[in-house]
Structures are given as C-alpha cells and as structure tokens.
Amino acid sequence: MRCKRVLKILLITIIVVGIGACVEVGELKEETHTIQLGEAESVELELHMGAGELRLQGGVGELMEGTFLYNVDRWKPEIDYYVSGNRGILKIRQGKKSGIPVGKTRNKWDINLSNDVPLDIEINFGAGEGKLDFRGLTLCSLDIDMGVGNLIVDLSGEQRQNLDVNIDGGVGSDTLYLPENIGVRVHVDGGIGSIRTKGMNRDGKVYTNDAYGKTDVSIDIKIDAGVGSIDLKLK
C-alpha cells in the first residue's frame, strides 16, 4: 500500500510539473455552460480536473450550470452529456495537461447542480483546492480521488437515502463536515499524518457519531489516506 501511494504521488507530480514543450499562458477566458436534464431520471457525473480550483454545490433548476475560468488554451474544458435509457451521463474534463506553463496560471471551475436529480458523482482531482458542498443534493454515491492539495467536503445536510463515500487521498489536508443527526461511520486506512476529530467515537481505525445505528439512513465513508491531515467535524 505504501509503495502504491508513493508511485501515485510521483505520477501526480509529473503531471503537475508537465511533460514536453512549454505552454503559453494567455488571457483569462470565461465560459458558461448549462446542461438540461432531458429524459433522464438519474445522472452519473464524472469530473476530471488536472490542476486548479474546483467549487461544487447545488441549488440550480437545470441539471448543471457551470462557469469555467482558464488562461491556458489547451485547458479548455471538454463537456459531454448524453442520455442512455433513463440514465444521464455527464462528463467534464480538463483539456490537455501536458507541457510546462510559462507564467501565472488560472484554472477555476464553479459547478452548480440540481438538488432534485439523483446523482452518482466521481471526481478525479490532480492538484489544487477543492470545496465540495453536497448539502441539498440527492446524492446516491460519491467517489473522490485527490492528488496534491486541500479538499473540503461538506456532507452535513439532510440525507434521503443510505450513502457510500470513497475518498482516495494524496498529499495535503482533507476536511469533512458531517451531520450530527444522521448516523455516520468513517473508516480510515493507511496514511502518514494526523486525524483530528471532535464529538466522534473511535474504535481502532473506525470513527462513528452518536447517531450511528439509530437512524433510518446512514453515511458510510471509507478513506484511503495519504500524506497530511484529516479533520472530521460534526456540524
């Protein structure tokens, strides 16, 4: 496990530094995109961001409304949405990541999702800062693969059904905001660093809140920790 983690960190570092020729940093560009749900009854969302700032939250009427800022042309986001049967598939990817940018880069995604659509979300985030606010969303499953940086995940809102969350950490700090009134179980495996909690019960590698086992729905979180700190905060 430790060797696997080291190899992952090395690969992420190579991606961040870049491979090949230099890439020109240009003027800051802004794009807005709106995606209609169509005939889908649920949606699978895949986000792949190499490096930058990622902000995600709910609260819009459409499936997705997003604003994208970037100043490297090849980082232009690639957005694809289609419906298969009653299932929508939404993929948002950062453009080509190879090359070494010359100058100060900017790459920021602000993504807003519908609260009413059942969502299975997968996020692959290479390096940077992520602030993911899932309060109000109809979240069915969540998978996050974080490379290098700081990640804030807010799961403290009402949960309509059982939720499984998987977080593969890299290098940096992870902060999870968790509900007090919904049962929560967190299993932390591996990692080099610190785990800070307040108001949670510990049994070896497992942390639970007082509501765990007493509510109709629960949140089960598995964290494959990396190098850095993990904060579990009841809210």
The pLDDT confidence band at residue 191, using thresholds 50, 70 and 90, is confident
Residue 214 resides in a domain: no
What integer is the mean pLDDT of 109-138?
Answer: 97
Q: Are 63 and 103 in contact (CB under 8 A)?
A: no
User: How many domains would you assign to the chain?
Assistant: 1
In tens, the pLDDT along 96-120 reads 766 666 678 999 999 999 999 999 9
Ranking 39-43, 52-56, 96-100, 149-153 by mean pLDDT, the lowest is 96-100
What integer is the mean pLDDT of 27-36?
Answer: 97
Go through the chain and tell me how many residues it has.
Answer: 235
Residue 48 resides in a domain: yes
Residue 203 resides in a domain: no
Residue 28 resides in a domain: yes
pLDDT of residue 14: 52
The pLDDT confidence band at residue 19, using thresholds 50, 70 and 90, is very low
What integer is the mean pLDDT of 178-203?
Answer: 92
Residue 20 has pLDDT above 50, yes or no: no
- Gyration radius of the chain's alpha carbons: 18
Full residue range of the structural domain in which residue 79 is found: 2-174
CA dihedral 94, 150, 146, 188 (to 10 degrees): -160
The pLDDT confidence band at residue 84, using thresholds 50, 70 and 90, is very high
Residue 205 resides in a domain: no
Residue 49 resides in a domain: yes
Percent of the chain with pLDDT over 90: 77
**Closest of 177, 165, 179 to residue 230, by C-alpha:** 177
Give the predicted TM-score (pTM) of the model. Answer: 0.88
Between 3 and 76, the more confident residue is: 76
Residue 20 resides in a domain: yes
